[in-house]
Amino acid sequence: MLHPPSRLVEVVAGVIRDARGRVLLSRRTEGRDLAGLWEFPGGKREPGETAEAALSRELHEELGIEAEVGAELIRVPQAYPDKRLVLDVREIRAWRGSARGREGQALVWVPPHKLASYAMPPADRPVVAALEQADRYLVTPEPGVGDEDWLAALSASLAAGMRRVQLRAPQLANAADAQRWARLVAAAVKRCRAAKAEVLINGDLALATSLGVGLHLRAAQLRELSQRPIASSLPLAASCHDADELRAAQALGCDFAVLGSIKPTPSHPSVLGIGWEAFAALRESVSLPIYAIGGLGLEDLGEARRHGAQGIAAIRSLWAPV
């Protein structure tokens, strides 16, 4: 089974910012599950309540503030030993009052870039990634015969806002064409760095290490490793297809994963995707940020976030032709 047959708890939480842009965290008090960990403020949704009404009520009871609930950020399904939880996180557009721990809980205002350093429950960790990391993960297509055209299309994609890129060309990255691919990758890395985009290389540890960039593991590589292959200062990701691979990626110390295929793709139109419900069920097994992949475009970002995804990964829909 993908998750234990246990009770489902619906929880709402808010991203509350102060005038300096810092985000409010609340510490779980002694006597509660996961005591001592930091979380986004909120609480359980009662039967018959809307998410907005529940969050407004919880923030008043917990913090003594009047909150104006804004847009959805992400819904995170998460399995715990004794329950299944869905954490529905909303932006708080505005709030009035003086936030204080009315239930004896400690509070702290945290600069966004430091949120990841706070120990949190598993369901809250993907929320930090949703706030701070790219919601699109571009996977490059094969270069074909025109290297300059490929590099120009990469530059156009970066100009269009891509900030996380996987350099991938399985047909080119073989012994006969390895030198050509290495030259292309070096040129691509320069362009990504100039655009302040995070870059990972598919499968090639030696090339990633030599260029000082991240590594994206294939599922087969993931199964062969027992420890993180690159420094913790460099991003590490993995392609996954089931719960075992997701758990392996998390145990290895991957920073994020890619999961799919969600829908049929142009390259495999007859292969049915797993769909969003299966994606959400698999997402419950780990606390990693996970991109959904397979037949997806920018129009799917909202649906992806509602099922716990960091965002979408894609080739065709994110690659800017020139």
Q: Is the pLDDT of residue 7 over 70?
A: yes
Per residue in 61-77, pLDDT (tens digit) is: 999 999 999 999 999 99
The runs of H, that is alpha helices, within the chain are: 51-63, 125-132, 147-159, 178-194, 205-211, 219-224, 243-252, 275-283, 301-306
Regarding whether 14 and 95 lie in a shared domain, the answer is: yes
Angle at 75 between CA 103 and CA 158, to 5 degrees: 120
For residue 119, the enclosing domain spans: 8-132
Regarding whether 249 and 228 lie in a shared domain, the answer is: yes
Regarding whether 293 and 224 lie in a shared domain, the answer is: yes
pLDDT value of position 151: 97
Regarding whether 218 and 186 lie in a shared domain, the answer is: yes
pLDDT value of position 176: 77
Confidence of residue 236 (pLDDT cuts 50, 70, 90): very high
226, part of any domain: yes
Domain boundary among 85, 114, 132: 132
Domain boundary among 68, 97, 132: 132
319, part of any domain: no
Q: Is the pLDDT of residue 213 over 50?
A: yes
% of the chain exceeding 70 in pLDDT: 96
**Angle of the 147-159 helix axis to the 178-194 helix axis, nearest 10:** 20
pLDDT value of position 268: 63
Domain boundary among 115, 132, 149: 132
Instruction: Fill in the DSSP letter of residue 315.
Output: S
320, part of any domain: no
Regarding whether 98 and 184 lie in a shared domain, the answer is: no
Per residue in 144-189, pLDDT (tens digit) is: 888 999 999 999 999 999 999 999 999 887 767 889 999 999 999 9
Q: Is the pLDDT of residue 315 over 70?
A: yes
Regarding whether 167 and 309 lie in a shared domain, the answer is: yes
Distance CA 224, CA 226 (A): 7
On whether the CB atoms of residues 285 and 2 are closer than 8 A, the answer is yes
The chain-wide mean pLDDT, for the chain, equals 94
Backbone angles phi, psi at 224, to 5 degrees: -90, -10
Ramachandran category for residue 222: left, alpha or beta (phi over 0 → left; psi -120 to 50 → alpha): alpha
Confidence of residue 1 (pLDDT cuts 50, 70, 90): very low
pTM: 0.94
